[in-house]
Structure 1
């Protein structure tokens, strides 16, 4: 924006001030939102609305004004016949697109069948000193859309719809769990260990306590402590932080919804998660059929259930059960001409290598909702082992359109087995596997006081929204994504 344009707006601001007009009044009482007013019957009078001016079309004795907010817009008619000439000329001379106004008037329908409010009185509510992006080209710079999300929300209908859907989705999730008698809780963001998931943490320092701390990567172990303490059904909207690489499907700061139910197993949770997704679709989008990547997916139909082993065998011809040693499994992938960067695999344990193989060769092929089950135990340090095959866990992931959107399992509640597994993870970490889990002695002490059977789940709000809105990148699904400092 040129300095000339801004200076012109500043001059208008000073002119308004010189006329005794309050430039930034403290309030304006409305009795209808913009989208609600558009539904009112003709001749409804005394309608009071407010909004940002997004368009002005001027004629000789009247003008059409479009005002808008995040939820809708409304056309207004300002006519010399219905307001004083002073008010009309004042608006004509000093008001710009981007400014805020409040109006009172009555509804009618134009010859082009557009609901319109005829203005009887108008109040100035705030001057925009900067010019909005040009309407027809919109906000074309992706960088600007992320750095100045407020402009993106003003100008881009797709962004408005997507991020409104996020708000509705969060509300639906909360209502769903509350209706199923889960209690919402909060657990610490600052933690001594980075347990609860396999991820690299952000580290910080507490000056008064003179101690290193981590920003949590997951709320899991604290939520399970609450089960020890007597809670039976809990959930949390938890801000989590993972110091990992940037990709279209990952955020370093994201919102995790995680919950636990005492006396359940993962099959109970599987049913709950299906019911939840259908509830979210109905409440947020009013349909269970979503188009993703040119695929029409009806979530109300049956969902596939496939084991980790069967899926990898189907897509690669490799039976992972035949290769208990990670080096032998890596050599087998090479014989099948499956290529990895050496830096990707040189320090990985068997579980993380299998996960890498699955993500490279299998996950992109999973389009319709699919429950992936029977994960290798090395990949699930906090999950309960399967009674029939201790090398596997009672776990599932929901995968849709190549993205994992829910992770759940029957929890490991045996403190001795948990200690052994965390010791194995600590050994992997000491050998260079940066994503291996840390030892968490305090959590083990809590387990030793006794845990009932538990099943739990977790999913990212942004990842779920990304999949359900068929977004190209997860950054489109957060209000203010992290960007590199200029």
Structure 2
């Protein structure tokens, strides 16, 4: 059953559907099948027609237009009627009079249903009530809507129904379209930002024999011809860094990522990221780019740096805070890991504030530091904050800090306790990289199915030599959530993953 208002019973709904199908049958028998039409010369659009309207002297006819769209309302009043036409730019009122369109066309129009796709010709005028409208001289049914739209005043409110039937959601909740317009403009803005800085956009495989580049559980599929299991990519990092080795010094990819993990307001099994890599740069360069992309996007798309998200007022004015993880844990959790060097002492300090290490994690200083940050600090980061210098245990692809070999040159960007970006000074030492891959493989053997797999071809690439490189991944869905004040990732993905209805 289609998405209809709760007030409409199943019996009444079925009767409405039957009436519409009977109307279609009548049209087809009369040789007027609307589904046989192949095109319509749509030349004018609601928003532009209204914006460019100029009143003409009495006795003169206004601008002629040819428009098409969905009929969203109809008010029949004897020999003249009003209707609302919605096209891709908005709504415009139609004035349909029997003496202008002809008796047969007018009678046919009176049988049109809300939701039908129609085409009209006419001229633009202003009604006595002051509304810019189209005085229709020709009207034609272009496509028949066989299912009634949700009831006008109640609309499609159920979130599950909205996400499952996004096409209905877009019809009856036009404000939803604005979210996806912002998404499209943000991606375009990001492309322009990177292209202007000399980056090349590329495409890398979605299907891989090894799932690498992130700590995540992959989707597994089977290639029949090769008779091998393959993984849908969990990141684009390793192929892109191979291109850095190959001499493409600035490279990025905007694409879909797939992770076989839980679903919540911030996570969908398939989501969109941008990953970018720049030779002869480091994670400080990536911080500048992350800040530049988001702050300039807010200014260009929203007109200012102030946004509201998840009930908080966020200031995206450039100059975001940069804080090491050690300093963040000291400030927000009260433990100074900078004064601790012993593994057992670090784990004990974490346990003293109720922080437990994951079962598969070794009881080390680095794992204790990260657990304290993850469980006690992240939720407190509201304004844009770069958390830097992550433990090597949780950063298998990152270059160690020259000042402290327990840490890596990595940052994550947090806004409103949400991770927005992750970046490294990329590890380019193939010997160190192999050792870290081996440790990750040992974690997998202990039951951590999110640990990195050992990628021999990537190690071979590093052995040919990769320059010092800065790299970053940024979640596009979460950026759009921020820019549109959306509380769940499903609001910014046109077709989010849904559990099937039995």
Say whether residues 1:416 and 2:431 are aligned partners: yes
- Bigger drift between 178-187 and 287-296 goes to 287-296
The corresponding residue for 1:128 is: 145
CA–CA distance in 2 between the matches of 1:77 and 1:324? 80
How far apart, in 2, do the equivalents of 1:19 and 1:329 lie?
A: 83
Distance in 1 between residues matched to 2:341 and 2:443, nearest whole Å:
16
Separation in structure 1 between the aligned mates of residue 358 and residue 28 of structure 2, nearest angstrom: 67
Q: How far does the alpha carbon of each residue in 1:120-176 deviate from its partner, in whole angstroms, 9 at most, with x for none?
A: 211211001001111211112211111111111112234222122112222222222
Q: Aligned pair 1:296/2:313, yes or no?
A: yes
Deviation, structure 1 residue 265: 1.3
Q: 1:180 aligns with which of 176, 193, 197?
A: 197
CA distance in 2, matches of 1:427, 1:49: 65
Instruction: Check if 1:439 corresponds to 2:454.
Output: yes
Q: 2:249, 2:77 → 1: CA distance? A: 66
The change in CA–CA distance for 1:331 and 1:239 in structure 2 (over 3 A counts) is: same
Shift of residue 356 of structure 1? 4.6
Structure 1 gap segments, 5+ residues each: none
1:206-242 deviation line (CA, Å, top 9, x unaligned): 1211212111100100001111111111111121111
**RMSD (Å), alpha carbons:** 2.0
* In 2, Cα distance between equivalents of 1:400 and 1:63: 52
**Structure 2 residue 388 is matched with structure 1 residue 388:** no
Q: Does 1:358 align with 2:370?
A: no
How far the C-alpha of 1:325 sits from its partner, in A, is: 7.1
Q: In the TM superposition, what are the counterparts of 1:46-445 in structure 2 within 5 Å? A: 46-92=64-110, 94-321=111-338, 329-338=346-355, 345-349=358-362, 354-445=369-460
Return 276-285 or 126-135, whichever deviates more. Answer: 276-285
1:52-71 C-alpha deviation (Å, 9 max, x unpaired): 11112233332221122454
Alignment match, 2:31: 20
After TM superposition, give the deviation of residue 308 of structure 1 in Å: 0.9
State the distance in 1 between where 2:116 and 2:344 align: 65
Cα distance change on mapping 1:70 and 1:480 into 2, 3 Å: farther
Judging changes above 3 Å, is the alpha-carbon distance between structure 1 residues 369 and 69 closer, same or farther for their aligned structure 2 residues? farther
How far residue 456 of structure 1 moved from its aligned partner, in angstroms, is 1.0
Using the TM superposition, give the Cα deviation of residue 324 of structure 1 relative to its aligned residue in structure 2, in angstroms: 6.3
Distance 1:414 1:202 in 2: 29
SS in 2 for 1:361: helix
Q: Whole-Å Cα distance in 1 between the matches of residues 79 and 371 of structure 2?
A: 68
1:476 to 472, 486, 491: 491
Paired with 2:129 and 2:242, the residues of 1 have a C-alpha distance of 63
Shift of 1:449: 0.6
Determine if contact 2:477/2:493 at 8 Å carries over to the other structure.
Answer: yes
Quote the Cα distance in structure 2 between the aligned partners of 1:6 and 1:241: 39
Distance 2:438 2:342 in 1: 18
Contact kept, 8 Å, 2:163 with 2:495, in 1: the verdict is yes
Runs of 5+ unmatched residues, structure 2: 1-9, 55-60
Structure 1 residue 37 displacement after superposition: 2.1
CA change 1:419–1:9 in 2 (3 A) is same
Cα distance in 2, alignment partners of residues 280 and 130 from structure 1:
40
Please name the residue that 2:3 is paired with.
none
**Alpha-carbon offset, residue 334 of structure 1:** 3.3
* TM norm structure 2: 0.91
Partners of 1:139 and 1:324 lie apart in 2 by: 58
What is the aligned partner in structure 2 of residue 7 from structure 1? Answer: 18
Decide whether aligned partners of structure 1 residues 352 and 468 sit closer, same or farther in structure 2, where only a CA change above 3 A counts: farther
Q: Is the CA contact 2:24–2:33 (under 8 Å) kept in the aligned structure 1? A: no
TM, length-normalised to structure 1: 0.93
Task: Give me the whole-angstrom Cα distance separating, in 1, the residues matched to 2:293 and 2:161.
Answer: 35
Give the Cα separation in 2 of the matches to 1:322 and 1:65. 74
**Larger deviation: 446-455 or 79-88?**
79-88
Shift of 1:355: 4.2
**What secondary structure is seen at the aligned counterpart in 1 of 2:294?**
helix
Q: After alignment, is 70-79 or 382-391 more displaced?
A: 70-79
What CA distance in whole angstroms lies between the structure 2 residues aligned with 1:232 and 1:298?
Answer: 33
* Change beyond 3 A, Cα 1:438–1:44: farther
